Structure 1
Amino acid sequence: MSQSTAASEPTTPDLDPVTANTERLKDAYTNTSFDPKWIKGSDHFWYHSRLCHNKSSFIYVDAHHALRAPAFDHTALAEALNSQGIHADATNLPFTHVDASKDCKTIKFRIGEKKFRFQHSCLTEYDGDLTQESLQPLKQEKVSEGSATRTNINFVNELKESVSIFWIDFQGDEKHYSNIQAGESQKQSTYEGHVWRVAKSEGNEAVATFVANGDDSIAIIKTGLIPAIPVGKAQDATTTESGEIEDNSTNQTERRFQLFIKDHNLWLHTHDDGDLPLSSTATSGQPFNADKIFISPNDQHAVAFQHTFDQDRTLYHIESSPKTQRQPRLKQTQYLKPGDRRRVDRPRLFDLTRRVEVETDDCLFPNPYRINSIGWNSDGSEFRFEYNRRGHQVLRVVGMATNGTVRTLIEDTSNTFIDYSQKSYHHHINDTDELIWASERDGWNHLYLFDLGQGKLKNQITKGEWVVRSVDHVDNDRKQIWFTALGLVADQDPYHSHLARINYDGSGLVVLTEGDGTHTWKWSPSRIFLVDTWSRVDLAPRTVLRAADTGKAILTLEEGDFQTLPQTGWQPAQRLAAPGRDGHTMIYGIMVLPLTFDPLKRYPIIEDIYAGPQDFFVPKSFSPLIRQHTLAAHGFIVVHIDGMGTNWRGKAFHDTCHQNLRDAGFPDRIAWLTAAAATRPWMDVTRVGIFGSSAGGQSALAALLWHGDLYRAAVADSGCHDNRLDKLWWNEAWMGWPVDENVYDASSNVVHANRLQGALMLIVGELDDNVDPASTMQVVDALIKADKDFDLVFVPGAGHGVGYSSAYCLRRQRDFFIRHLLGKEPPDRNAG
C-alpha cells in the first residue's frame, strides 16, 4: 500500500484568505537541491546555484584544488545576450544547463531553439552538439513521486512533426497537457520526481518518457529515442516490491545452440540436429517461461522456470462520468487479494549434453511466494536461487546441483515476518563464491558474508543497535562495502541517513558523512570525491565536498538558509523525542505551528498519520512543509509521529505491526502527544483530530474506533479498512498467510464500525485501483447499519489518494476540522 503525499500537477482553485497567505511560502523559499555536473574526464564540475526566488548563478568547482568560483562572468554574458536582443539578467540567465570545458573557460548553452558559445567574453551562435544537456529517457516508465520541490522541464522538439506531452500521475494514468510543434520548445512547470511522456500527436505513438530532477532541465525530443516500457507492462527484468531488479536474461548470445519455448515446452536448437524437445509435459496452464532460462557457464546444463498462473481476480470500477462519452463505462483490473492463488515458479534442471531433464526435489522450495535467480557458480556445478516461502517467515538460498540434489545454503526464519520487500539484498562475489547477504537475524538489519561452496556463514560484517538501510557500492578488489546506515551516529535522530564504509571481515568501519542531519550524497565519476548534502526539518541544507576515502570535508559549497520564510510568519517545525508505550523506547515526531502562532492561546492538534510498516514517515530533511503549514495556518498544531510498527528501527520495534495493523503505533503516539503537551500549554489535547490516506486512512478511522477518548475527529482518505479487500502482497506481508479470519477481523474497521466515536469524514475516489473503493463503501454500509453519522466525499473519476491531490477534497477536510475542532462554521460555499 503506497502513501500519497503530494498534490497533483497544480490547479489554481479559489483560495480562502488564510490559504492564500500560505501560498506566499512557495515563493519565499528556494529549494537548494544540489546536482553537480561533472565535466567529462576530470574531477571538476559545475552546478546551478539557486540563490533565492528568481535569482541564481553558475558555480565552477575544481575538486583537486578545493577551488570554488563563478563558472564565468555572468554580467558580461548577460550584456552580450541583451545586445543580441535576448533579455537576460546576470542573476537570472535564461538557461539552466551549460556544456563546459574542463577549466570552464568556454561554455555552450541553449536558449529556446538556438545554441550559443561564450568564450573569452565573446558570444557567438553555435551549431554543434551539446553534451549531457538532456534528461536521459527512462527505460521503464513509473508513476510520479510526491514532492514539494518545484522545477521546470524545457521540452525541445527536434522532430519534424508535432508531439504531445502527458503527465503520468500517481496512479500511472496519463493526463494530456500540451502539444509542441516541430522545431519548437516549451517550458513545463512541474515537480521533482514527476514523470512526463512524449508521444507523436498523430497516432499517439510514444517517443520517450522523462522524469524531472530537482533543477530546471531540458528534454530533447529527437530521432532515435527508445520509448519506455509503459507502467504495469511486462518486461525482461522483473521489478520487485522493493524496487530491486531481478535479472531474467537468458544469456544465450554467441552460443552454438539456443533454448526456446515451443508449445509451452522447452526446446533445444542446434545447427546439426535442428529442433529437439527437452520437456513434454508443459501445458498452457503450466508453461515454461522464455524470460527465465539460465544456462551454466560451461554450457552443459540449464535451469528453466515453469510456472502456474495467478488466479483470476477482477477489480471492477464503474466510471460514472467519462470525459469521452455520456454513458458510464465498466473498467476491469486484475487485482489479487490476500489468500488468492498466486503464480508459482518451479525451477527445472536440464542436462544439455544428454538432452534430458534431471529430476530434482522441491522439498526446499515447496510453496513459493517468489523465487529469484542468483545464478550459476563459476564452474557450472550448481545453480542458486532465493526462495521466499509464502507467508514470508522463511527466506532461503537454495543450491541445485547438476546431479539433481538440492541443499540449503542460507536460511532466515521468523515467527513474525521477514521484511523481504524492503530489506532483501545479496551480492555474489564470483571469484571466491561468497555472498553478501542482508538479514535481521540478530534483531537489526545487517550484512553477513557467506561461503556458498560450504553453505556456511564466514562472518557478520556489520553489527550493532543500528541498521543498514541500503548498499551503495561493493568493491570486490578492495573487499569493502559502502552503505547507508540509520542510527549509526550516536546522539542523533536514529532515522538520519549516513554513508559508511566497512571491510568484508567487519573491520575498518568508518562514517564518511558528518553533520547532525540526514544526508544524501553524489560521487565523482572517479569515486575520489563525494558531494554531501544534509539537513533537518529545522536546518536548511548544507553541502560540502568530501574526500571519499576519509570523509574529510574539503570545501563548503552551499549553506542554505530560510531567512525569507519568517517574513511570512513561518517558523521551522519543532522536533521532539519522547518515550513510547514501554517507557524507554524513544518515539520521534515533529510539530508545525500556525503562521500567526501566539503562545498564550491554546490550539487544537491534528495528526497527519501514515503507519504503513514498509517505511518511516516523519519528514527528516528540510522543506517548508507547505501542505502542513497550509492546514496549521487555520489555527491548528499539525504533528507527524512514527510509532512502533513502522520500519527502520530494530526488529522488535517493527514486529509490533505483525497481524496487528489496528495498533498503528497509537499507544506510542498518545504517549508522545501527552509528553509534548506537558511542556507546551498551548497544545490542547482535549481537541485532537487526525487524517491520513491509504494505510493512513485505515489508521485515521481506527483512531476513532479504538481511541475515541483522545481523538475527536478523523478524515480517512482511500483507506484500506479491511485488509482482506486490499492487494495481496502488502497485506499478507504484515497480516500473514494463510488468512486467519480472526486475525483479519481484529484489525478490520468494517467489522468494528459500530464502535465509532467522534466526527468522521470518509473520502474515496471512484476509480481507485490501488485500494479497492469497496473497502470504504463497506465501512459506509456498516456505519449505516449501526445508525452512525458521518460525512462521505465520493469523487467521480478520481484515483488513489484523492484526499491529498484534489483541491476540493483538501478544502472539505479543512472545513471539517474547523467545524469540529475549532467550533466555527466555515463559509457557506453555496451562498450566491
Structure 2
Amino acid sequence: MRKARSDVFFVLLLLLAVGSYAADTNRLVFKDKIEPHWFSNNTKFWYKNELPKGKREFILVDAAAGERKPAFDHARVAKELATKLNREIDPERLPYDEIRFSEDGKRIRLLGKDSWSFEFEQYSLTEEKVEEPERGETPREERRRGATRRRAAATSPDGKHEIVVKGDNLFLRTGDVEKQLTHDGSPSHSYARSAQRARYVEMRYEEPEDETPQAEVYWAPDSRKFVAMRTRAGAQRTVYMVESSPKTQLQPVLQSYPYAKPGDEIPILKPRLFDLESGKETALDDSLYTNPWSISDIRWGRDSSRFTFLYNQRGHQVLRIISVDAKSGEPKAIIDEKSPTFISYSGKFFCEYLDDTDELIWMSERDGWNHLYLFDYKTGGLKNQITKGEWVVRGVDRVDRETREIWLRAGGIHTEQDPYFIHYVKVSFDGKSLVKLTESNGTHEAQFSPDRKHMVVTWSRVDAAPVTELRRASDGKLVCELEKADIRLLEATGWKAPEPFVAKGRDGATDIYGIIHLPTNLNTRASYPVIESIYAGPHDSFVPKSFRPSYTQEKLTKLGFIVVQMDGMGTSNRSKKFHDVCWKNIADAGFPDRIAWIKAAASKRPYMDLERVGIYGTSAGGQSALGGLLWHPDFYKAGVSDCGCHDNRMDKIWWNEQWMGWPVGPHYDEQSNVTQAHKLQGKLLLMVGELDKNVDPASTMQVVNALIKADKDFELLVVPGGGHGMARTPYGWRRIEEFFVRHLSPSRH
C-alpha cells in the first residue's frame, strides 16, 4: 500500500510538471500550409513561408512552366530598404506580410506598416501609399453543402405587389390598396415566419420572440401566383437552469430558454398557394407531405407552372423533392428517398437543380454507399448513377454546367488506403468519365486556381508531415512539388507521432481504423495503462487523419498512459451498413469493435495493460464514456463523463430523433445511462457545467440521482457558470488527469 501511494505521489508531481503541456508546438512546424495568391491571368501565384527564428520568404510559382523560385531578390530589396530607412534590414526577416505584383510582373509592392514599390529592372525602391486590398482579392473555392437556397421575398418580381402579415393573416398590398387574402390565420396557425420553428428545427436558439411579423412568401416568376408558408405552432418546452454565481449580483439567477426534446410536438410548416388573378387560394393535396419535420427550398419553375420543395418527414426515413402543379394543386414526388433505418439528411445531403436542362443532381445511399445520381427534373426519372462503387462521396465542391462535370471529395476511392482519407475526383454527369485527381497515401486538401485549371494540394497523415504540390485540375498530373513541411524543431522536443492501427471489428471482417498515442519515453518492457478517448456520435467520423503537431491526448501520455482513438461501427463516412449499426442503438457506440481493436493492438504491444483500461469523452462522448462502464465493466475500469447526454430523451430533438428514431419507443429507456446506472462497477467522474445550453445539465444530475439511489460511489464536478465541455478548461482537464492517475496508477519510467 505504501509503495502504491508513493507511486501515485510521484505521478502527481509529474502531473504538476507537465502542466498545460501544449507548449506551443504549432510554432515548431513550418512550411506545412501555403496560401496561394494568383495573378489575374491565372498562370502564376505567390505565397509566403514562415520559417524558424522569425524568418520568412516569398515564393513565386509559374504554374504553366512548373517552376518555383524566390519571388524577388530578398537581399537586394533588404539593401535598398536599409538605405531608404537608414537602418539595418535582415533579408530573411523583411517586415512585410504581403506583396502584390503588377500585371506585367515587373514590379512588386511590399505591404506593411509602410509600403514600397520595387522595380525589378532597375532595382529601384520608392515609397508609396497603397490602398487596402479588397476583400476577396484572392479567390477561394466555395464549398457547396447542399440545396440551392432561395430567399423568401414579400415583394413580387415585377415590383407591383407586396405581401404583409397582420394579425397572423396575409394581406396583399398593391400601391395604396390593401386587400386581406386569408382569414384562417391565428396565433396557433399563423402565416408569419415562425421563430419557434427556427429555434426547434433549425436550432437557432437566439431567435427573438417579439420580431415584427413577416410573411414567408415565394413568388412565381410571372408575379401572378405565390406560395406562402403557414405554421401550426408546436408545444413550447422550456429548459431552466440556475446560475449560482452570476458576475453582476450576489443572488443566483434563474435562466431559461426554449429547447425541444425527442417526442415533443413540433411546429408544422406547410405551403399554401394563392392566385392573384382570381384572388383565391388554390387547394393543395398534401397527401405526400402529411407529417413534415421540415419543408424547405421552395422554388418555382421558370414558366411559373409549378413549384417544388424539399420534404423531410419526421423520423427522417422519407426525403422527397415534391413538385406541385400550380393550376390543379396536385403533388408529384420527383425524388422519393426512403430508408428502413434513417436518411442522414444532416450530413449526407446534396441537391443541385440544373434549370437549363431540367435535371437534378441528388445524393443518396440507396445502393449502400453515398453517391450522386442524375434525375430528370420534370418526370422524376433516373437518367443515370453518376458515381458508384464501394467508396463514398464526402462532399461536392463544384458543379460545372457547361462542361457537365462535378468536382468532389471522396473517401475510400483508393482501396489500398485508409478509407477515411479525403481524395479529389472529377466526374462527368453521365458517370462515364471519372478522374482521380489525387493519389498520395494520405488525406488531402485542395485549393483551386480561379480558372480551375490548377490545384494546390496539401496531403498528410498523422504520421507523415504535410507535402504541398501543384497539380493540373484536368487530370491530377503533378506539375511540381512546392513544399515539404519542416518538423525538425518539433522532433527535437521528443515529439512522437501517433501510430495508425487497423484491426477487424466485431464481425471479424470489417476493418476498424484508429490511432495509438504512445509515451515519448516508451519502455517496451514496462506495463502501461490504456485510456480510450471516445466520441461515437453517428453524424461523422472523428479519428484524426491529417498531421497535427499536438494532441490533447499527449498530456496523458506524458503521465505514463497509452491513449487510443478509433471509429467503430455506427459512425459515418463508411458504408450505409456500417453506419446503420447506430440505428435505435446509440448505446452500442461501436464498443464491440473498439474492444476488439484494443485487444488486437495489445496483442502486438505487450506493454499495453488491459487490466487497467480507462475511457473519457465529452457530450455524446460523455454518454459513451459512462456507457462503457455500465455495459462493459469487465473491460473499462475507470471513466470520465463530461457533459454527457445520458438519456436521449433529455437531449436536443434533431440529433436524437435522427439516430434513435421517432416516435420515442422503449429503446430510449432501455439505453439510458440513468435507467442502467445501478450497473456501475468501475470508478467514475461526472463533470458538467451548470449553464450547458447544448446538453441539458439535468441529464447528468439524473444520473447522479440514480447512482445515489443505487448506493454507488462516484465523483462529481459541477462547474458554476460553466457551459458545454468542462474537459476543455484547465481545471477540468487537471481533474481528469488526477482522476486517472489515482485509479489506473501509471508507473514510473
* Aligned equivalent of 2:505: 580
Cα offset, 1:464, TM superposition? 0.9
- Say whether the 8 Å CA contact 1:479–1:504 is kept in structure 2: yes
- Say whether the 8 Å CA contact 2:147–2:351 is kept in structure 1: no
Cα offset, 1:496, TM superposition? 0.7
* Aligned equivalent of 2:3: none
Counterpart mapping for 1:279-290 below 5 A: 279-288=182-191, 289=193, 290=214
Work out which of the residue numbers 644, 650, 663 in structure 2 matches 1:719: 644
SS in 2 for 1:423: coil
* Aligned equivalent of 2:627: 702
Counterpart mapping for 1:298-377 below 5 A: 298-377=222-301
Is the counterpart of residue 263 in structure 1 residue 186 in structure 2? no
Cα offset, 1:373, TM superposition? 2.0
Cα offset, 1:305, TM superposition? 0.9
Whole-angstrom CA distance in 2 between matches of 1:321 and 1:480: 58
Q: Which structure is richer in relative contact order (CA contacts within 8 A, separation 6 or more)?
A: 2
Work out which of the residue numbers 388, 393, 399 in structure 2 matches 1:468: 393
- Say whether the 8 Å CA contact 1:24–1:568 is kept in structure 2: no
Work out which of the residue numbers 495, 504, 509 in structure 2 matches 1:570: 495
* Aligned equivalent of 1:189: none
Please tell me the residue identity of whatever aligns with 1:752: Q
Whole-angstrom CA distance in 1 between matches of 2:29 and 2:230: 55
Counterpart mapping for 1:36-115 below 5 A: 36-52=36-52, 54-82=54-82, 84=85, 89-102=90-103, 105-112=106-113, 114-115=114-115
Whole-angstrom CA distance in 1 between matches of 2:724 and 2:596: 31
Whole-angstrom CA distance in 2 between matches of 1:798 and 1:477: 52
Whole-angstrom CA distance in 2 between matches of 1:79 and 1:762: 62
Counterpart mapping for 1:258-657 below 5 A: 258-271=162-175, 274-288=177-191, 289=193, 290=214, 292-402=216-326, 403-657=328-582
Name the CA shift for 1:518/1:528 in 2 (closer, same or farther; >3 Å).
same
Cα offset, 1:49, TM superposition? 1.4
Please tell me the residue identity of whatever aligns with 1:100: F
- TM-score norm. by structure 2 comes to 0.90
Name the CA shift for 1:268/1:623 in 2 (closer, same or farther; >3 Å).
same
SS in 2 for 1:76: helix
Cα offset, 1:104, TM superposition? 5.0
Please tell me the residue identity of whatever aligns with 1:72: F
- Say whether the 8 Å CA contact 2:241–2:256 is kept in structure 1: yes
Identity %: 48
Cα offset, 1:694, TM superposition? 0.5
Please tell me the residue identity of whatever aligns with 1:270: T
Name the CA shift for 1:76/1:777 in 2 (closer, same or farther; >3 Å).
farther
Whole-angstrom CA distance in 2 between matches of 1:564 and 1:349: 66
Work out which of the residue numbers 131, 145, 156 in structure 2 matches 1:252: 156
Name the CA shift for 1:631/1:91 in 2 (closer, same or farther; >3 Å).
farther
Work out which of the residue numbers 750, 771, 777 in structure 1 matches 2:695: 771
Gaps of 5+ in 2: 1-13, 194-213
Name the CA shift for 1:62/1:597 in 2 (closer, same or farther; >3 Å).
same
Work out which of the residue numbers 723, 726, 734 in structure 2 matches 1:802: 726
Cα offset, 1:577, TM superposition? 0.9
Gaps of 5+ in 1: 1-13, 137-212, 214-238, 826-832
- Say whether the 8 Å CA contact 2:530–2:561 is kept in structure 1: yes
* Aligned equivalent of 1:221: none
- Say whether the 8 Å CA contact 1:71–1:104 is kept in structure 2: no
Whole-angstrom CA distance in 2 between matches of 1:655 and 1:532: 33
Work out which of the residue numbers 612, 629, 637 in structure 2 matches 1:687: 612
SS in 1 for 2:625: helix
Cα offset, 1:437, TM superposition? 0.7
SS in 2 for 1:363: coil
Whole-angstrom CA distance in 2 between matches of 1:16 and 1:618: 28
- Say whether the 8 Å CA contact 1:400–1:407 is kept in structure 2: yes
Cα offset, 1:264, TM superposition? 2.3
Cα offset, 1:727, TM superposition? 0.6
Name the CA shift for 1:21/1:717 in 2 (closer, same or farther; >3 Å).
closer
Greater mean alpha carbon deviation, residues 760-769 or residues 560-569: 560-569
Whole-angstrom CA distance in 1 between matches of 2:737 and 2:439: 40
SS in 2 for 1:16: helix
Structure with greater Cα Rg? 2
Cα offset, 1:30, TM superposition? 3.8
Whole-angstrom CA distance in 1 between matches of 2:53 and 2:598: 36
Greater mean alpha carbon deviation, residues 42-51 or residues 712-721: 42-51
SS in 1 for 2:588: coil
Greater mean alpha carbon deviation, residues 446-455 or residues 308-317: 308-317
Please tell me the residue identity of whatever aligns with 2:295: I
* Aligned equivalent of 1:29: 29
Greater mean alpha carbon deviation, residues 659-668 or residues 373-382: 373-382
* Aligned equivalent of 1:198: none
- Say whether the 8 Å CA contact 1:568–1:595 is kept in structure 2: no
Name the CA shift for 1:570/1:128 in 2 (closer, same or farther; >3 Å).
closer
Greater mean alpha carbon deviation, residues 47-56 or residues 472-481: 47-56
Name the CA shift for 1:345/1:131 in 2 (closer, same or farther; >3 Å).
same
SS in 1 for 2:596: helix
Name the CA shift for 1:16/1:76 in 2 (closer, same or farther; >3 Å).
farther
Cα offset, 1:821, TM superposition? 1.1
Note the aligned Cα RMSD (angstroms). 2.4
* Aligned equivalent of 1:210: none
Work out which of the residue numbers 125, 128, 135 in structure 1 matches 2:127: 125
Cα deviation 1:35-64 (Å, max 9, x = unaligned): 212233433211121334533211111212
Cα offset, 1:87, TM superposition? 7.2
SS in 1 for 2:356: coil
SS in 2 for 1:732: helix
* Aligned equivalent of 2:200: none
Whole-angstrom CA distance in 2 between matches of 1:85 and 1:589: 57
* Aligned equivalent of 2:742: 819
- Say whether the 8 Å CA contact 1:19–1:633 is kept in structure 2: no
SS in 2 for 1:760: strand
SS in 2 for 1:535: strand
- Say whether the 8 Å CA contact 2:463–2:498 is kept in structure 1: yes
Name the CA shift for 1:95/1:245 in 2 (closer, same or farther; >3 Å).
farther
Cα deviation 1:376-395 (Å, max 9, x = unaligned): 22221111111111010111
Cα offset, 1:77, TM superposition? 3.5
Cα offset, 1:82, TM superposition? 4.9
Whole-angstrom CA distance in 2 between matches of 1:300 and 1:129: 48
Please tell me the residue identity of whatever aligns with 2:129: D
- TM-score norm. by structure 1 comes to 0.81
* Aligned equivalent of 1:755: 679
Cα deviation 1:411-432 (Å, max 9, x = unaligned): 1111111101011111011022
* Aligned equivalent of 1:669: 594
Cα deviation 1:576-624 (Å, max 9, x = unaligned): 1111000000000001111211222221111110000000000000002
- Say whether the 8 Å CA contact 1:370–1:388 is kept in structure 2: yes
- Say whether the 8 Å CA contact 1:99–1:132 is kept in structure 2: no
SS in 1 for 2:467: strand
Whole-angstrom CA distance in 1 between matches of 2:269 and 2:480: 53
- Say whether the 8 Å CA contact 1:27–1:53 is kept in structure 2: no
SS in 2 for 1:819: helix
- Say whether the 8 Å CA contact 1:31–1:623 is kept in structure 2: no
Whole-angstrom CA distance in 2 between matches of 1:601 and 1:135: 57
Please tell me the residue identity of whatever aligns with 2:64: H
Whole-angstrom CA distance in 2 between matches of 1:780 and 1:86: 67
